[in-house]
Amino acid sequence: MASRNRHLPSPLPTVFTKTAILANVLAVDQDPVAQQRVLQLEAGFRARVASHVASLTGATAALENFSTSPFVLLIYAHAKHYTRLSQIERDILPAKLFSSMETSAGRMIEDVVLPVYGWQGVPSGMHTVNSALDGKQVALPVLKAVTLKSGPRCLNDGMSENLADSVLSHGAAWLTANGATQLDFTYGVLYGTKRQSNKKDWHILRNIAQKLPAGDVITPPWSRWDCSFRLGNAPGSASVRIGKDWWDYLGGPLCLTEVCAALIRACIAPGQADAPGTVYQISDLSSIVAMPAATAPFNSVILQASQIPWLFFLMQHFCDVLTD
């Protein structure tokens, strides 16, 4: 096993408080522009979700389409004490649906959200100059360019090196094509935290710094999540932005709240919430979705009371610690 790079950052835990989450919801309530963004996002999400759900594997799907491991199926059946095939059949379909949704959900987020915050998608065919890019914003003289991944453990060593090579090989072409003279490249992750990362994303920055001539590295990424450099005569920077860091960069401190609220509105109809004290099989779920202690009655324009537990449930995916 390779030893840990001595320059690798050691991030502190990302801490969210439910009180702050609710305060952000109220801040969106009081901002007509933010409310309009939520409605625009909701409409985009609803259309894409409806289309995706209609295309999902249905009850008539053949077993060969599921790519299941026979060994995993038997071990799982043993763990659940199954004796009938009909029992495990009921579990195979949801597992396949979760898997097939992962890539589609990431693409949906890119396509719907980027334009709302003044960015645009980048057509990125394989083996092209733009193959590493998913989005961009031209704010001359700066080109903001981003590669987006759905979660914090999506990379391996080869992918990290390839992304670094793309920045160094094609960064100048990206600038020329967009009439810009300064590159701001981001490796963005839609959910998770830096502590949850497998740190392969940081190795993009290390590879950039080590592949450049020493004189072209202005700020190396040692013990940090960004670096700055020169691409010929053009100044450049590269950053790793995971979870809330990415959303703050994209659309400001309320961006994550707006996106999560819009997703909930698009996917979860207001209705009856679980009763207080509901016992879940996931041991910490009760504490995650409970309202903070001593909270005054909470009323929101963008989310109904039954949707607030869903907001806490989503926000847990962007932090290491969720407290009252």
DSSP string, 220-248: --TTSSEEEEEETTEEEEEEEEETHHHHH
Backbone phi and psi for residue 81, each to the nearest 5 degrees, phi listed first: 60, 40
Distance, in Å, from the CA atom of 106 to the CA atom of 211, rounded to the nearest integer, reads 30
237 within domain boundaries? yes
In one-letter notation, the amino acid at residue 3 is S
Look up residue 149 and give its two tokens: 């991944």
E strand residue ranges, the chain:
15-17, 120-121, 135-139, 142-149, 182-189, 217-219, 226-231, 234-242, 321-323
223 lies in which domain range?
117-253
Q: Is residue 61 part of a domain?
A: no
Structural domain contains residue 64 = no
The answer to the question of residue 145 being in a domain is yes
What is the rounded (10 degree) CA torsion for 6, 9, 12, 16? -150
The type of residue at 221 is: P
Taking the alpha carbons at both ends of the chain, their separation in whole angstroms is 40
Residue ranges, the chain, pLDDT below 70: 1-2, 55-61, 99-100, 103
**Domain tally for the chain?**
1
Q: Is residue 37 in a domain? A: no
pLDDT in tens, 190-213: 999 999 999 999 999 999 999 999
Is residue 96 a part of any domain in this protein?
A: no
| CATH assignment at residue 170 | 3.40.1560.10
> What confidence tens digit (pLDDT) does each residue in 78-123 have?
999 999 988 988 888 777 777 667 767 888 888 999 999 999 999 8
